[in-house]
Structure formats: C-alpha cells, structure tokens
Amino acid sequence: MNQPLPTSCATPPAATAATIRQRGQHEVFCGLTSIIWLHRKVQDAFFLVVGSRTCAHLMQSAAGVMIFSEPRFATAIMEERDLAGMADMHDELDQVVARLLERRPDIRMLVLVGSCPSEVIKLDLNRAAGRLNAHYAPRHRVIAYSGSGIETTFTQGEDNFLAALVQDQATRPAKSGAARLVVAGCLADVVEDQFSRLFSAFGLSDVVFLPGRHATDGLTIDSNTRYVLAQPYLGATAAALESRGATRIDAIFPLGTEGTTAWLWAIASAFGIDRARFDGIVDQPRRRAEQAISHYRPWIDGKRVFLFPDSQMEPSLARYLHQELGAEIVEIGSPYLHREHVAGELALLPPGVAISEGQDVDIQIDRCRQANPDLIVCGLGLANPFEAEGRITKWSIEFAFTPIQGYEQAGDLAELFARPLMRNSILTGRNREAAQ
C-alpha cells in the first residue's frame, strides 16, 4: 500500500500541480449516506437498503437524531440463513417489501439501494426491482441503484440514484413536450425556488429539477433538452442524461457570487438571453450576495486552507474560498475528480495548488500537520482530533446538509467557513483583548 498509483488518464490542467494519488485508508462515507438528504427531498420515495446491520447502523449514526421521526428509509438486514442459502433472497426481499408497503401505503416510489454485502454476493437488485415493479406498478414504482462503499463515496450515492431515475423515466410514457432544461443535483427547496424565479425571469419554461420533490413527476428528455449540473459529483447522471440525447451546459458550480453568476449566465446564454437583460435580472441579488460575503471576508482573507476529500465539492469550495474570500489553498482533496466537470473551477485556482484524488488518510494527516494550515475542512472522524491538537476545523458534511448554492446563500456559505475561526477567537479571548 501507500505507493502512488500511476497518474494515467487525464492530463491535469496546466494551472495545477500533478495530482497526488494514493491508495490507503479512505476516511469517507459510503454512498448510502446520501439517502439522509434524498429521503427528505423526494417526498414520495422510500429508500430500502438491502444490506447488513452495519449499513443500518451507519444510517442511524449518520442520521443522528432525525432517524426517529419515522424516516422514509430502512434496511432489509441480511441474516445468516440468507447467506447459507436456506432462504431464497428474492423471496425474502419480496416479503420485506410487502410488509413495508403495507405499513406505508403512501409510498409512490420504492428505491432498493444496494450495499457492499449485497454486491459482494451479487444479489441482483435491478432484477428484483423489475420483478417487484411488475407486481406493484403503477401504484408503487420500484427502482434500484447502488450506494455501496465499494463502489460509491458519499455524494456518489445521489449520482447513482439520479442516473437510475433518468433511466426509469425512459421506460415510462413520455409527457408531451420534452424538458428544455434539466437542473441536475439535489438542492435545498429554498434554493430551488430562488433559481426557479430567476429562470422565469429569463423567460425559461419547462425547467425540471432532478431530483424533484416527487420522484414520480414526469421527466421527458430528448435531443432538445439541455442540462446543467448544480452539483459536481454527477458523472453517472450526466452520462444517463446524455444517453437520452440531452446536451450539457458547461459551467462552474453555483457557489458564491461569482460561481452563481457564471452558472446562471452559462444557462441564460445557452438559451439566447442577452447580457444586458441578464445583468438587469441578476444585478440586485448579486449585489446582496457581495454585501453578505463582505461581512465574513476579513475572517478568511489570507488564511491557509486544507481540504480533505469528502463530497467532490472540494474543488468548487476551494475556488470559492480563493476567488471570493481570498483564502490560500494548501491542498484540495477529493474522493474522485471528474476532470471535465470541474475543469472550470480548477482553472480559476492559482498555479501550484496541490490536488489529491483518493486518500491514504494517515499520510494525508501527516501532510496536513506539516503544512499547518489555518483552517482544515474535514469529516467528523477527523475534526475533533484535529481540534484537540489546537487546529481549527470546519466539518465538511455540513456542505451537503445546508443550503449553500445561489446568491442568497453566498453569505451563509462564507459564514460556514468563518464560524470556526470566529469561535476560536471568542473562546481564546482575543475579542476581549481587542476590546481593551
């Protein structure tokens, strides 16, 4: 272990240093974790993980307190007799599904989610979904995707879910007209509403958000459909959309004032809106965003930031930190780099920024300590131990759970980074000193 893998495939953009690729312990969540936000977003879906007690325990530990309010997810836990071949897994699964749908008849879409154990024993959930669909549709639709740790990291679970949704729509009777624009990537409801208002102001209709609030909402895609990514972790979804004829609008991601403007402009110009009209529409929210960010900029300006891999949002976050808050980026870790989708973000970073893909956590921690950054963006397994060393951290999972995209959230995003620094200042009494 620990030897760098050959830097084969993509050539890194000229702006950045060679990518560090290491194979060792990955301190990351598996794709199941994305169910925690997806089940709140998609209100008629129920996510049934087919896995082990570990998977159930992960969901429960990661969902923390929330799990107890009758969540729309559960685990079908495989048992000894399933593995010993005493029970036919498909029969067992059918029974679990029957019990579940009896308890929750309101579910419109049942999503079977594959895990490491179900994949290692090659339990074919797509087949199971097909079978169950034949039985339960149209009352309940059943689809399947994988959120296993061996195949997916954290937000990649959402990617696989969205790709499965796109494929599922292909099998259903099409709505009359195809969507003109598909915005792919789970967004907080409030953000979705803000973007919707801007799109209407651009005169854009037939915009579909993927995922929508209802999994069963129609989605028709053809070669007239353009799509734009709202999240950087959607390789499989992009491929699924393209296989249905949609074309991608290339843009950086809508984080911060610059990110949001660039993203919206990419969309607006793709639909032939002229710049003057665009500026007229975004001018006010844009100024609000700048103003909100400016409150926090002094906290981040000139600070050295190290980002551990977590969600694939790291290149975009780093771009925002650097471009809009004046931070110096020490290292950008990402569990996976979809080079084409983040090329724009990387191009906006200064030359020489270290980028790492994959992880050997112990070695990365060594590098981080060595660099001694002012702020470390990392997961919950590392945050408190770093804090106990006297370092300042921002726990990264929050970026997946907080509305951060768009103009109105640009300041909130800055605040997420500034907060630990502000807190440190309060607790170490620097405020008091300053007051005297």
Partner 1 sequence: MKLSMWTYEGPPHVGAMRIAASMKGVHYVLHAPQGDTYADLLFTMIERRASRPPVTYTTFQARDLSGSTADIFKAACRDAVARFEPEALLVGASCTAELLQDDPGGLARTLDVNVPVVPLELPSYQKKENWGASETFYRLVRAFAGSATRPAEIPANSCNILGPTSLGFRCRDDVTEIVRLLTEEGLDVRVVAPLGASPADLARLPDAAFNIVLYPELADVTARWLKKTYGMPYVSTVPIGIGATQDFLAEVRALAGLAPREAGQDQASGRDRLTWYARSVDSNYLTNKRVFIFGDATHAIAAARIASEELGFRVCGLGTYMREFAREIREAAQAYGIEALVSDDHLDVEAAIIAARPELVLGTQMERHIAKRLRVPCAVISAPVHVQDFPARYSPQMGFEGANVIFDSWVHPLMMGLEEHLLQMFRDDFEFNDGAAASHLYPHAAEIIEDAPALAAETLVWTSDAEKELKKVPFFVRGKARRNTELFAASKGIRPITVETLYDAKAHFAR
Question: Could you give the CA distance from residue 147 to residue 164 in angstroms, rounded to a whole number?
Answer: 12
Residue 316 near which of partner 1, ligand SF4, none (CB within 5-8 Å, type-dependent) = none
End-to-end CA separation in angstroms for the chain: 54
Burial 325-360 (b: 16+ CB within 10 A, else e): bebbbbbbbbbbbbeebbbbbbebbeeebbbbbbbb
Chain position carrying tokens 């500026």 = 279
Q: Interface with ligand SF4 includes 262 (CB under 6 A)? A: no
Which of 55, 267, 307, 346 binds ligand SF4 (CB under 6 A)? It is 55
- Residues 170-229 touching ligand SF4, rule: CB under 6 A, are none
Q: Interface with ligand SF4 includes 60 (CB under 6 A)? A: no
Which of 16, 148, 155, 393 binds ligand SF4 (CB under 6 A)? It is 148
Q: Which stretch binds partner 1 (CB under 8 A): 77-85, 194-202, 208-216, 298-306?
A: 77-85
Residue 13 near which of ligand SF4, partner 1, none (CB within 5-8 Å, type-dependent) = none
Which of 7, 17, 53, 277 binds partner 1 (CB under 8 A)? It is 53
Which of 70, 85, 272, 276 binds partner 1 (CB under 8 A)? It is 70
CB of 127 to ligand SF4, least distance (A): 19
Question: Could you give the CA distance from residue 277 to residue 409 in angstroms, rounded to a whole number?
Answer: 23
Please give the C-alpha separations between residue 242 and each of 45, 215, 269, 344, in angstroms, as whole numbers.
Answer: 25, 20, 20, 20
Classify residue 68 by its DSSP letter: G
CB of 366 to ligand SF4, least distance (A): 25
Chain position carrying tokens 């989605």 = 219
Q: Burial, 154: exposed, middle or buried (Cβ in 10 Å; 0-12, 13-18, 19+)? A: buried
Residue 100 near which of partner 1, ligand SF4, none (CB within 5-8 Å, type-dependent) = partner 1
CB of 84 to partner 1, least distance (A): 9
CB of 417 to ligand SF4, least distance (A): 18
CB of 401 to partner 1, least distance (A): 14
Q: CB of 204 within 8 A of CB of 180?
A: yes
Q: Interface with ligand SF4 includes 396 (CB under 6 A)? A: no
Chain position carrying tokens 């965003």 = 289
Please tell me whether residue 198 adopts helix, strand or coil conformation. Answer: helix
Kind and range of the H or E run holding 288:
helix 275-300
Which of 18, 43, 79, 295 binds partner 1 (CB under 8 A)? It is 79
Q: Which stretch binds partner 1 (CB under 8 A): 194-202, 225-233, 252-260, 384-392?
A: 384-392
Token pair, residue 40, equals: 């709140």
Q: Interface with ligand SF4 includes 58 (CB under 6 A)? A: yes
Q: Interface with ligand SF4 includes 311 (CB under 6 A)? A: no
Q: Which C-beta is closer to ligand SF4: that of 19 or that of 115? A: 115
CB of 150 to ligand SF4, least distance (A): 7
Which of 15, 96, 170, 343 binds partner 1 (CB under 8 A)? It is 96
CA-nearest of 289, 251, 287, 286 to 268 is 251
Pairing of strands 109-114, 393-395: unpaired
Q: Which amino acid is at 301?
A: D
> 160 CB contacts (<8 Å, ≥6 apart)?
31, 145, 146, 147, 151, 152, 236
Q: Interface with partner 1 includes 99 (CB under 8 A)? A: yes
Cis bond before residue 138 (omega within 30° of 0): yes
Which of 89, 111, 116, 128 binds ligand SF4 (CB under 6 A)? It is 116
Token pair, residue 156, equals: 């990649």
Q: Which C-beta is closer to ligand SF4: that of 58 or that of 282? A: 58
Residue 70 near which of partner 1, ligand SF4, none (CB within 5-8 Å, type-dependent) = partner 1
Q: CB of 184 within 8 A of CB of 263?
A: no
Q: Interface with partner 1 includes 423 (CB under 8 A)? A: no
> 299 CB contacts (<8 Å, ≥6 apart)?
417, 418, 421, 422
CA angle, 221 as apex, 157 and 240 as ends, to 5°?
A: 35
List contacts with ligand SF4 (CB under 6 A): 30, 32, 51-52, 54-55, 58, 64-65, 115-117, 148-149
Task: By CB under 8 A, name the binding residues for partner 1.
Answer: 1-2, 24-33, 50, 52-54, 56-58, 60-62, 64-65, 67-71, 73-80, 82-83, 87, 89, 92-93, 95-96, 99-100, 116-117, 119-121, 148-151, 153, 362, 379-385, 387-388
